[in-house]
Amino acid sequence: MPFLSVIIPVYKVEDYLNRCVESVLNQNFTDLEVILVDDGSPDNCPKICDDLAQSDARVKVIHKQNGGLSSARNAGIEVAQGEYIAFLDSDDAWAEGKLAEVVDVIKKTNAEMTIFASCDKLANGELYQRKGITDCTDSYMQFPIIEYYKRLIENGNLQESACTKILNAKFLKDNDLTFQYGIISEDTEWMFRVLRVCKNVVATNVLLFVCTYGREGSISNTAGVRSINS
């Protein structure tokens, strides 16, 4: 059983997929599995997924009919074997050599949810670090949930992205913290449910998550009637 399961939904990201997966496999912490959930992608992604699985035994592939981001993540949760679970979108990446530092914090604290620092990668390659709860005075800080709520309100940033967190798998599954189907901004709805049952949170200033900012066609860069109504 690996320490960490990394769930990566895959849909129309053939130009980014290898970079994403390699950023996980090449980390300085190797006790992990990568679960690629091909959500019926119509491009070359299914083959890329299979090729990655053939080249590294830590990679598992699920091919499924298209159902959206929530459906893909939930399919990954169902088969995840790790003691902890992380989510990563397939057009994003992890910063080189940072995972071991985050895992060290998790092992020291045994928190149900660990939040790490993140940044946006702009089109010109520049990195813009996000501000929020991970602005710690020490390498990490541990909060009871009431204190964490207070910090969120003070910062005015919920930091709801599932991709900036690692969660205890038993906590996730025992509380049925899967993602809701058929909505945009599913991370926001999910995060509120996580916070209702979470007892302790750890935040670390280790910068692990690198978001590809403003990619055309990405869910976070798409607006419409459904997203407004949601």
Q: What is the largest CA-CA distance in the chain?
A: 47
Mean pLDDT computed over 104-114: 95
Residue 186 tokens read as 């599913």
User: What is residue 27's predicted lDDT score, i.e. its pLDDT?
Assistant: 98
pLDDT at 17 over 90: yes
pLDDT tens-digit readout, 147-203? 888 888 887 777 789 999 999 999 999 999 999 998 888 999 999 999 999 998 999
| Higher per-residue confidence, 168 vs 141 | 168
Burial letters 154-181, b for 16+ CB under 10 A, else e: eeeeebbbbbbbbbbbebbeeeebbbee
pLDDT tens-digit readout, 69-89? 999 999 999 999 999 999 999
Only one residue has tokens 């991709």, namely 163
Q: Are 68 and 155 in contact (CB under 8 A)?
A: no
**% of the chain at pLDDT higher than 90:** 72
Is residue 113 helix, strand or coil? strand
What phi and psi, each to the nearest 5 degrees, are found at residue 203? -120, 135
| C-alpha–C-alpha distance, residues 156 and 135, integer Å | 13
pLDDT at 133 over 80: no
What is the chain's mean pLDDT, rounded? 89
Residue 40 tokens read as 């019926």
The pTM (predicted TM-score) of the whole model is 0.90
